[in-house]
A and B are shown apart, each in its own frame.
Chain A
């Protein structure tokens, strides 16, 4: 797997960060639960916030247990824990959808390895998300679904990679692109697009800890 040593100022995106990212998600989603429900009510059954909240509550618990173990853990452990947890505990379609994305991420890493994410790997994670959502969600680009958000993140991260940026910068580029997408589509903001942006923002919040 690709590894890159970040510059001094550049925060390392390691497995501890990934674990902290998805624990942060629970708090972020909980804060926005009603907003997500309201957005979902325009297009679905209005329970996207509730579903994600239940899912990430379990995720946080499981990751907390994982971090407490004396053994080292890697990206494989974190992403497969997140995927399985959302799969089983997050209701509606979003549970299996997000679950399958994070399980696909886990497959990118060998169990027990402790590399940190460089820019191409960040791009690849976003790409895997779009690939998975197209097949699993049976949607195409431009249908105002969470696929559009992951696609924007992918393109944003690629742009950073073209400009020789590191992993953290690629992540920022991805988040920034999703924020722009949200500003553009705001009147018809899709709940899945918004939850994707909350999940990705949590990744940045977790870095500073």
Chain B
């Protein structure tokens, strides 16, 4: 019965059933989203036990607040909002910060005013994204490139491009302006493009290769 619940029924119906006391419906939601929540927490926190901690807090909080969910946003957005807050709470605790503003822990120093970095390595890639995602070794390189991004860019990229939240939701969650979100997303994408092109660029199809010193 749980398997059929997990596959066919829309989120909103499962939420409704769980609100009326059906444990199987709640567990179907858990099965559907536990990996996504864990992954988001893992990518924010970069530590498996911290990610477990945040995942557990997330679903406890979902359970506690289930009756207050009215469908003003989708369940997924609501869930990710809770998950992001839970991950940030772990981050704050880890760093001994009590501040509620996340901005304080997103490496200070605004660079929105400085010019965008010009791409320095421009080449077509040897393989397309589908092929690159087929192999564990390239998946690790892709994940590693994301982990190397400075935190304030990584968080915006994670919420916008990996989890698909809107600019407004991301701004709200991080306590920054929508303009900040847009600039950080562009910088994050450009930095990742640069890193990935150095990994996956076709040596025979380099259009431009500048060293950073020439910039």
> Are A and B a genuine interacting pair, yes or no?
no
Residues of A within 8 A of B (CB): none
Residues of B within 8 A of A (CB): none
